[in-house]
Structure 1
């Protein structure tokens, strides 16, 4: 297994697969780059690399859809797999298993390197020179509240006692050259760290990182348990430490191969209006709220830096591919720790993180003697409901046999259409609801409470009315299948 420590090497690897589209004409950071990226998601074209930004003055570039669905139909998850050190042809179940295994592996803490060897220190801007006005900050959607400079960058923050260093993704909007604002909401981890500083009456030191190893925003975008350092998880994922370097003005360390690092402090109060911003459910938001203000006190960057952008919207973009896969890994981890026989868990990209699918092996009855499909489904629902955090934020979960691949959309729809009773075999819990979940009513989203439903779609046991597939693989004997395949190209 190999991995990338640098965004540029990762882009080269995608280019070798034919999954990069270089856009060499001048493109505006004001909506145009985001619009091209959004269309690339929707038609599954290669990831756009913008080499000439119309408003640019320093040679910066932009990179869209860094972890979207690949344009290669034979390796749809190539960008995700390569991001975490797996082969480009890796499938969904193998990807989720890799994330689950890493959860149980000992963390590998980061390694501090000298600033002289850190690419992110090629250009150091302090004082009045440290201004966002030097960059072509992208505007993502027409109805957004402003230009959003952070859609795929990681915010690094440490609790006041130093016990927990959190690397996470949260949207950030530019106010002016020296100020930004963005969502800082408990129970999300960034919100918890900020709250600890605010309760002390002290501004929170932060560093905002664009670029670096592709695993950094990937892991920053998946839900790890509270108190777990993402840097140690990435080290375990890579099998070696992440190289980090000390910041210029705050007591934090950042990935040495980052493209851009912005440093400063976050206010203790909610001082600025933020939003609206188009979110992952795929609808244009009209909501804004008061959020803390980030001050910009230092900026370091590589020469000709590459700025990644993610224009959220209808599936599938990074908040479905990455965050959804991370949540599926959390579900699978919790179910296996509970001793339940499950094959995999998956959040189908088109459902915009509103559906979860759990598949179980054909022999599950031998491992749970005397348990019927309803009781098995109820146990799965109880584990998900009681696992806490993002794993509990599942509006709908389907439990199916593993004769189907939940990442294959045609396979999944066939199973849902033919194995779910129109009314019965479902279980419901009162659960945590995120305000972005479009399937709930306005009152439920405001209260952040609503129903979580688990559907029993399991087939009967063999001999109890279970039907075989009328498919090529099951409706014909092996000698006929072999003969057909042997002469297929004829």
Structure 2
């Protein structure tokens, strides 16, 4: 296992395992980098690194699909695992266990270094020079409201009293060279902090960090408890403190090895239209909403900087790998804290974060004596739907552990044969609903409330599978394997 302290060493490691696609020809500055990245997701190719983008200075690069499925079929989650300092062959459930376990360990706070030691401040742009037009920011999709300046970067903000520093990912659209507009959801952590600044009547200081250590990008995109500092959690995953440096113009610390840092303030009003944007559900966006303006005041960057991007849409991109794993780890943590004997949790990539599987071990009835599967299903829903992260998940399936939840073919088989057409489910009415999940109607989006469901697919008696593994004697199977593929 190895922790990569900056984006460049991570790209080098991916390149050595054949998981980088170098694009040396000049690509246009509008759609071509995004379209290539989107196709790379859909055919599971190596991650594209664009060395020459029209309209920007030589040396400025784009990097797509940083945490998507790997092109290596023998290690499909390698990009996510390596980002977090885990072995590239780690399975999805192993990654989820690591994310959940780190929440119970003491955090390792970041360590501040001097500006001269911080690669992110090799170049400092102020005033008119601090302009987004010099960077290769493409359109993500042709129906989007503008170029999206943030799809895989980390937004750093803190409460006015300085007690809580939040590192998160939120989509941010470029308006012009000096302005951006970001989606600020009140229930999310960045929205809670922005609301505190609004109450004071002061614009919120922010730093938008592009291309930090991969673990920073990953952790910024997953749920951890409010008032917990992501930097400390990342230190725990890395086993070492994150090096940070004081921002040039703000009282914020930023990752010292980042590629690019944009500094400024966020307006106290929703005074600019943001969107539409093609989101993780797999559909092109429609409509826009009034959101706060991010004013650009100072920009720092490394020599020949790399701007990473996630082009969300149909599976499988970072929303369906890293973010889904983070949501599953959050669910696993809360269910185990409720003393339920959960084996693992999993969000199938192809469900676009609309399904959560809660996997029960074969002996769960012995560990929960007197508890029926109906009561267990109800309890799981009661625990999960109180958590913030589950606002994104409308459907939960409680399943046995006799199949591989990360294998979509097995998931479809199990759910198709075990979900009752009418009964065996717990419906939770009037749950929080936001617009990102695709399965609700307009009235529910307007009300902010809708139903969620937990399906009970647990077998009262486990049936043997008509499969190679379970349908034949062991000696026959071994003889066939020894002679395969004669």
TM-superposed CA distance for 1:271, in Å, is 1.1
TM-superposed CA distance for 1:447, in Å, is 2.0
Match of 2:59 in 1: 59
**Pair 1:400-2:399 in alignment:** yes
**Pair 1:114-2:114 in alignment:** yes
**Separation in 2 of the partners of 1:469 and 1:392?**
35
Contact 2:392 2:437 in 1 (8 A): no
**Separation in 1 of the partners of 2:270 and 2:365?**
53
For 1:121-270, list aligned pairs within 5 A: 121-270=121-270
Q: Structure 2-normalised TM-score?
A: 0.98
Match of 1:471 in 2: 467
Q: CA RMSD in A?
A: 1.1
**Separation in 2 of the partners of 1:416 and 1:105?**
35
SS of equivalent to 2:396: strand
TM-superposed CA distance for 1:148, in Å, is 0.8
Q: Structure 1-normalised TM-score?
A: 0.97
Residue range with higher mean Cα deviation, 129-138 or 70-79: 129-138
Match of 2:481 in 1: 485
TM-superposed CA distance for 1:197, in Å, is 0.4
For 1:342-421, list aligned pairs within 5 A: 342-386=342-386, 388-421=387-420
TM-superposed CA distance for 1:61, in Å, is 0.4
TM-superposed CA distance for 1:58, in Å, is 4.5
SS of equivalent to 2:334: helix
SS of equivalent to 1:15: helix
Name the CA shift for 1:393/1:133 in 2 (closer, same or farther; >3 Å).
closer
**Separation in 2 of the partners of 1:309 and 1:121?**
21
**Pair 1:437-2:433 in alignment:** no
**Pair 1:7-2:7 in alignment:** yes
Match of 1:290 in 2: 290
Match of 1:314 in 2: 314
Contact 1:264 1:295 in 2 (8 A): yes
TM-superposed CA distance for 1:446, in Å, is 2.2
TM-superposed CA distance for 1:392, in Å, is 4.6
Contact 1:168 1:190 in 2 (8 A): yes
**Separation in 1 of the partners of 2:135 and 2:453?**
46
Contact 2:75 2:88 in 1 (8 A): yes
1:297-319 per-position Cα deviation (integer Å, ceiling 9, x unaligned): 11100011000111111111111
Match of 1:86 in 2: 86
SS of equivalent to 2:245: strand
**Separation in 1 of the partners of 2:375 and 2:425?**
11
Gaps of 5+ in 2: none
Name the CA shift for 1:252/1:259 in 2 (closer, same or farther; >3 Å).
same
**Separation in 2 of the partners of 1:477 and 1:446?**
58
**Separation in 1 of the partners of 2:288 and 2:412?**
36
Match of 1:272 in 2: 272
**Separation in 2 of the partners of 1:21 and 1:34?**
14
**Separation in 1 of the partners of 2:155 and 2:132?**
16
SS of equivalent to 1:276: coil
Gaps of 5+ in 1: none
Name the CA shift for 1:58/1:126 in 2 (closer, same or farther; >3 Å).
farther
Contact 1:437 1:445 in 2 (8 A): no
SS of equivalent to 1:190: helix
SS of equivalent to 2:385: helix
SS of equivalent to 1:296: strand
Q: How many residue pairs align between the two structures?
A: 485
Contact 1:74 1:89 in 2 (8 A): yes
Contact 1:58 1:135 in 2 (8 A): no
**Separation in 1 of the partners of 2:384 and 2:173?**
34
Contact 2:37 2:65 in 1 (8 A): yes
SS of equivalent to 2:484: coil
TM-superposed CA distance for 1:107, in Å, is 0.9
**Separation in 2 of the partners of 1:472 and 1:379?**
36
TM-superposed CA distance for 1:432, in Å, is 1.3
TM-superposed CA distance for 1:286, in Å, is 1.1
Residue range with higher mean Cα deviation, 29-38 or 134-143: 134-143
For 1:89-108, list aligned pairs within 5 A: 89-108=89-108
TM-superposed CA distance for 1:341, in Å, is 1.0
Match of 2:449 in 1: 449
**Separation in 1 of the partners of 2:292 and 2:380?**
39
For 1:1-40, list aligned pairs within 5 A: 1-40=1-40
SS of equivalent to 1:410: helix
